[in-house]
Amino acid sequence: MKTLEDLLKREFPDSNFHIYSKLLYEAAKSGYVVYDELAKVNSEDIDDFLLSMYEARILLPVRVSKNVRSVSWDARQLILKRGEKYEMPLIIRYLIRNIVEGGNWDINGSLRQCLLEQGIQNIEHYIEAINEVLDWALKNKYVIDAESISGISMKHKIEPNEFIAVLKNIGVISPCSRKFISNKEIYYEINPILNW
């Protein structure tokens, strides 16, 4: 588990979040973690840990705001109390399992595993297109509009709606519900952990 601990120390240097690495690995296997399990490890900084994991899109609250009809990441309600459940996106699950089991933070390898699980045939086209989306993310504060995603997918001979659906399913993107309300255009948030 040393490499996951090292990654957490590198990304969150002023914290002791590395103590949660075993629970993150368990969440990577099961798909979720419950507040109570985290509190058993360390109840002092659990709220800071969950807030940081939510901001990094590693753990997402299952609870969704009643005011927004969306399961987008920004519509999730981060409630920090016993009984609350937090899910881990599929891509994060593979990234964490791969670093623990194989010692590698391998984004393309993890993407490949996710795409296989989704039944995608033209995986290499998808990987190239996703990497282009991630490059876009670095330049645009982790936000991309639907038109740009469609352009990237068509460039790689992938049907745009299918591409967007797959990216949402595996946890690479999520609709920005608040941006849509203000702009009336569809924007997607890109999971920032994919640029670690």
Q: CB 75: neighbour CB atoms within 10 A?
A: 20
Phi and psi at residue 189, to the nearest 5°? -85, 135
Answer whether 2-94 and 107-195 agree in fold. Answer: yes
Given a contact cutoff of 8 angstroms between Cβ atoms, the answer to whether 130 and 155 are in contact is no
Token look-up 């419950």 returns 34
Mean pLDDT of the chain: 90
Cβ distance 44 to 76 under 8 Å?
A: no
Residue 126 amino acid letter: Y
Beta bridge partners of residue 32, listed in sequence order: 87
Q: Where are the domains of the chain?
A: 2-94, 107-195
Residues 35 and 80: beta-carbon distance below 8 Å? yes
Model pLDDT for residues 108-133, shown as the tens digit of each residue: 999 999 999 999 999 999 999 999 99
pTM here?
A: 0.91
Q: Give the architecture (CATH level 2) of 107-195.
A: Orthogonal Bundle (1.10)
Least confident of 35-44, 45-54, 87-96: 35-44
What lies within 8 Å, CB to CB, of 75 at 6+ separation is 64, 65, 68, 177
Q: Tell me: domain 2-94, CATH 1.10.10, correct? A: yes
d(CA 190, CA 133): 8
At position 118, the amino acid (one-letter code) is Q
What pLDDT is attached to residue 1?
45
pLDDT in tens, 131-144: 999 998 888 888 89
In tens, the pLDDT along 149-196 reads: 999 999 999 999 999 999 999 999 999 876 555 556 889 999 999 988
- Residue 18 has what DSSP assignment? G
